[in-house]
Structure 1
């Protein structure tokens, strides 16, 4: 019975942990990011500073704690407006290309570099990019598997903020 419980616990743990392919090159390479020591990282290639945690989470003891908030697209945009974090203003919801740059395509659940973005929900995140064919929808990036799609703006989705480097 103890062996069965141990196997079940291992299976449950492995089912929720990140899985990465070893034969693929990293797409979100560690050397691209600079840890700013304040809960943010800078993508040195794109010149963007990212919050390490999703909105709703707290940067604490080198990790993201708490539950990420799910917001509608409008709520995400409104929350970003005037948001102050790490003593900086200018935070915004990233466009779909910027947000996609964080995806680690060799990994799933989540498809992101967990060293720099720990405890990221393996789910959709809002971009600021609206759909050109349907004004009721906007683009999201799925950190489950690195895919992009459009979702209705009134759905509740996770958000990570970005700002341009000064």
Structure 2
């Protein structure tokens, strides 16, 4: 019965761009205290040893308002891989996260988007790229549907959003 109620709630918000819905009866899959805010719109995910950009590519971090400003930019898979190298400097090598890394920031307690908005504000509910190619279909890569937090396959020529990551210095 509980799953029927959850499914009904999900379907009722699925066709309207609504604000995030979280279900307290579902255990959280991420913890706020696992993420430490860093200067420049970055956040350290302590449990994974990763530094994430808080904003999607194309947006800029507004420190005063603690949010992402501007419009995110969609890229093909190859463009996302190439763009990460333009952001990198010797001390910080940014890249597209692999599917396991991207799934580690999904908050299963919430939908629309399935992410902790206190850590990653202004995240939309669209798909984001991972660097992981689908083994059985090399023209596809894994993406994360931020509406639901589910991984799915997308043709590499499609244009999706991307959130870059790098290894922690620690």
Q: What TM-score do you get using the length of structure 1 for normalisation?
A: 0.87
Matched, 1:17 2:19: yes
Runs of 4+ in 1 over 3 A off after TM superposition: none
- Does the alignment pair 1:135 with 2:129? no
Counterpart Cα distance in 1 of 2:151 and 2:134: 12
Distance in 1 separating the partners of 2:87 and 2:67:
21
Aligned position for 1:125? 128
CA deviation vs aligned residue, 1:16-64 (integer Å, no higher than 9, x gap): 2000001122111101101113200000010000000000001013100
- When the two structures are superposed, what TM-score results if normalisation uses the length of structure 2? 0.85
SS in 2 for 1:16: coil
Contact persistence 1:110–1:143 (CA under 8 A)? yes
The alignment's C-alpha RMSD in Å is 1.8
Q: Can you give the 5+ residue segments of structure 1 that lack an aligned partner in the other structure? A: 1-10
Q: Is the 8 A contact 1:82 1:90 kept in 2?
A: no
Q: Does 1:45 align with 2:47?
A: yes
- Work out the number of aligned pairs and report it: 153
Unaligned runs of 5+ in 2: 1-12
**Separation in structure 2 between the aligned mates of residue 57 and residue 88 of structure 1, nearest angstrom:** 22
